[in-house]
Amino acid sequence: MHASEENVRARTRREHVLDAAPGHLDEVATGFRPEILTSWRRCQLVGLAPTGEEAPYRPEFERPVRLLRAAGPVIDRLADQLEDSPVSIVLADTEAQIIDRRAGGRNLMKALDRALIAPGFVFAEEFTGTNGIGTALEAAKPFKVSGAEHYREILQDFTCIGSPVRHPMTGSVEGVLDVTCRVEEAHGALKPMVLAAVREIESRMYAEMTRRERMLLDRFVRANRRGGTAVVSLNEDVIMANTAASAILDLSDQATLWEWACRMLGSSDECTGEVRLAHDVVAQAKAVRIGEKGEMAGVLVEMRPHVRSDGRAPIARRTSQRARHAVKHDCVAGRSVAATRLRSDIDAALRSDRPVLICGEPGVGKLHVAMYVHRHRTAEATVDVLDAVLAADDPAAWIGRLHSFCAAGDAIVLRHLDRLAPEIAERSESIIQTAAPGRVIATARIRGGVTPAGRVLDHFPVSVTVPPLRYRVEDIAELAPLLLAAHSTRRPVPRLLPGSLRALSSLDWPGNVRELEAVLAEAVTRSAGSDIAQEHLAPDYRSAGRRSDRASLRRAERDVVLEALAETRGNKLAAAERLGVARSTLYRKMRVLGIDENHLPAPSSR
């Protein structure tokens, strides 16, 4: 049978398969590889149409310098060898955006242009279906897609073989090298050619490691020779750990150690102190700045765990019961100053039987906190929830339900109470006043205002403000496992790999925890049960700008200022003296760092 006849039959089988309902591909499929069917399922889950012809196009995009520097000479050589041949070389970045295309002959180039296989177009699987670039990223291994194996009809004339290019030190994917030709021009030498080219690119990448990475490696090797110490050499992109350090570190601890070292070092070159790691581990650590004058390449952290009384292997000291409560709180996860303050505010609300108002931006978790407070104040499993936004649809029915709940002494959460319709605000106010102590909690974006709804909020004397996620992104390391567990049926629950955690921690999160949960839920589907790598995140969340040293230090500075204000209970003069700056300087820093003096943290217990 000729290849063209087989391709026609494969297209017929493909149409039959894709006509099946999502989740039933295995029942109808014959003749397609399991990995192709897995990719098709992912495409169906995101609602991708097989007949679609569009692809995202970004004329202006960030060019990955490290990848281009290593791949450029290799691609140049291949292009010379394949000049006027029916094979094209394509290089894409970690978002599956094509950044270079070479050789291929004029006719093939025209065909590739029609199929949008050109620089600037994004071939991530969720946009363009099963293909040699996006699917190689999803599978994290070399991948061949030929003819009817493509999910999109527009790509069925081509055979594509792509392979991820990995950084030789970190193992992270730097991009994809792909060769594309017409189906009838494909031959067995293409895949070995791609793999050999990828090995050469990775070898060049290793030889051209940046000076920062060489500095990290050099200091790590020297420190590790001393022995008996847990040694970590890291920056925001790279982490190296010896066996002793690996025994006490979690995947999330790279971000934790980097933040801690930046905060502790400040302008000095060396510091010592306690660092709290994942799983309630506390270790004594010494951090040393790595780099030349005016340049910070990273930090060397040496941790000296306590030795067990029986003389066995060193272990990290666990936190006390009180400290464990501060770190692992069944309502608030995280180790940030903002999370500590929130836990303190919640505990204060639990000690009161007065009406509580939970404030915060949309998506921060106000309802979650409200339900927690009710459960721990009333010990009731069920709580009635009334949304004030719905009151306008049927005011009489809404007022009736409110009166019924209050008369019965039920535990109630009044959501979005600041949006209560003016015409029923006064009646609601009088009913809320009759409620039994400790039975009513409300949520609102902010307190205050002279509106009728604002006056209703005045009947909630106890306030808890839930901070936005942008003020506590360092807590993502502890939030993520909880959110992933809620959206995964697999055990063990998938984890965030370090690259994914860094990417998510560099964002501002306007949608707060709700947005983070949606991103992680989608990533669980894409990862098919494996740990969440950067390529499993939606494209807009993969490389929103890696946080620079300056940004990390800015966040560390913000935490220091917040802590000083908390310890002085908001006294600006005392806080300024504690920080060693003028009060005017403190006010300026508060403005620059976005610190709201009306919502300062409570002092932490140390």
Structure tokens at 45: 């889950």
Per-residue model confidence (pLDDT) at position 29: 54
The predicted model gives 427-450 an average pLDDT of: 84
Residue 550 has pLDDT above 50, yes or no: no
CB 298 within 8 A of CB 235: yes
Residue 87 is which amino acid? V
Whole-structure pTM value: 0.51
Residue 584 has pLDDT above 80, yes or no: no
Pairing mode, strands 462-465 and 356-359: parallel
The predicted model gives 169-180 an average pLDDT of: 87
Per-residue model confidence (pLDDT) at position 574: 79
State pLDDT tens for residues 342-381.
888 899 888 888 888 999 888 999 999 998 888 888 776 6
Q: What single DSSP character describes residue 315?
A: B
Q: Which uninterrupted H or E stretch holds 344? A: helix 337-350
Q: How far, in Å, CA of 594 to CA of 353, rounded?
A: 33
Buried b (16+ CB within 10 A) or exposed e, 168-193: beeebbbbbbbbbbebebbeeebbeb
Directed axis angle between helix 395-408 and helix 422-433, to 10°?
A: 10
Going by pLDDT thresholds of 50, 70 and 90, the confidence category of residue 22 is: low
Structure tokens at 75: 């691609």
Distances (CA, A) of 79 to 89, 117, 214, 374, 452: 7, 17, 32, 68, 72
Per-residue model confidence (pLDDT) at position 580: 64
Max CA pair span of the chain: 87
Per-residue model confidence (pLDDT) at position 320: 39
Per-residue model confidence (pLDDT) at position 25: 55
State pLDDT tens for residues 39-81.
988 888 888 888 888 898 887 766 787 899 899 999 999 998 8
Q: Which among 139, 159, 164 is positioned nearest to 149, based on CA atoms?
A: 159
Helix/strand number for the chain, H first, E second: 23, 16
Q: How far, in Å, CA of 298 to CA of 262, rounded?
A: 9
Per-residue model confidence (pLDDT) at position 316: 44
Q: How far, in Å, CA of 531 to CA of 542, rounded?
A: 15
**In percent, how much of the chain has pLDDT > 90?**
22
Per-residue model confidence (pLDDT) at position 310: 46
Per-residue model confidence (pLDDT) at position 328: 42
Q: Which among 230, 204, 202, 234 is positioned nearest to 217, based on CA atoms?
A: 234
Residue 4 has pLDDT above 70, yes or no: no
Mean pLDDT of the chain: 81
CB 478 within 8 A of CB 324: no
463, β-bridge pairs: 357
Residues with Cβ within 8 Å of residue 289, at least 6 apart in sequence: 265, 268, 269, 270, 296, 299
Higher pLDDT, 295 or 128: 128
Residue 557 has pLDDT above 70, yes or no: no
Q: Which among 114, 159, 128, 129 is positioned nearest to 38, based on CA atoms?
A: 129
The predicted model gives 119-136 an average pLDDT of: 93
Q: How far, in Å, CA of 58 to CA of 61, rounded?
A: 6
60: three-class secondary structure by DSSP: coil
Structure tokens at 244: 């002793």
Distances (CA, A) of 262 to 169, 304, 332: 23, 19, 25
Q: Could you report how far apart the first and last alpha carbons of the chain are, in Å?
A: 77
Distances (CA, A) of 564 to 278, 326, 493, 570: 25, 19, 38, 8
The CA-based angle 122-510-547, given to 5 degrees, is: 65
Residue 594 has pLDDT above 80, yes or no: no
464: three-class secondary structure by DSSP: strand
Distances (CA, A) of 104 to 109, 111, 160, 377, 420: 6, 10, 13, 71, 65
> Domains, the chain, ranges and CATH?
1-208 (3.30.450.40), 211-305 (3.30.450.20), 337-465 (3.40.50.300), 469-545 (1.10.8.60), 549-593 (1.10.10)
Going by pLDDT thresholds of 50, 70 and 90, the confidence category of residue 334 is: confident
Q: How far, in Å, CA of 316 to CA of 305, rounded?
A: 5
Residue 171 has pLDDT above 90, yes or no: no
State pLDDT tens for residues 290-327.
987 667 788 999 987 654 444 444 444 443 333 333 33
Strands (E), 52-211: 87-92, 98-102, 143-146, 158-166, 173-182
CB 109 within 8 A of CB 92: no
CB 466 within 8 A of CB 372: no
Q: Which among 590, 341, 359 is positioned nearest to 460, based on CA atoms?
A: 359
Q: How far, in Å, CA of 441 to CA of 603, rounded?
A: 25
The predicted model gives 572-593 an average pLDDT of: 73
Residue 136 has pLDDT above 90, yes or no: yes
Structure tokens at 252: 């999330």
Q: How far, in Å, CA of 13 to CA of 534, rounded?
A: 33
Q: How far, in Å, CA of 461 to CA of 385, rounded?
A: 20
State pLDDT tens for residues 459-516.
888 888 888 888 888 888 888 888 988 888 777 788 888 778 888 887 888 889 999 9
Per-residue model confidence (pLDDT) at position 330: 65
Higher pLDDT, 167 or 546: 167
Q: How far, in Å, CA of 399 to CA of 384, rounded?
A: 14
DSSP string, 180-221: EEEGGG--TTHHHHHHHHHHHHHHHHHHT--HHHHHHHHHHH
Higher pLDDT, 142 or 329: 142
Going by pLDDT thresholds of 50, 70 and 90, the confidence category of residue 407 is: confident
**In percent, how much of the chain has pLDDT > 70?**
83
State pLDDT tens for residues 247-277.
888 767 777 788 788 878 877 788 888 887 8
Q: How far, in Å, CA of 576 to CA of 512, rounded?
A: 31
Going by pLDDT thresholds of 50, 70 and 90, the confidence category of residue 452 is: confident
Per-residue model confidence (pLDDT) at position 321: 36
The CA-based angle 549-546-504, given to 5 degrees, is: 120
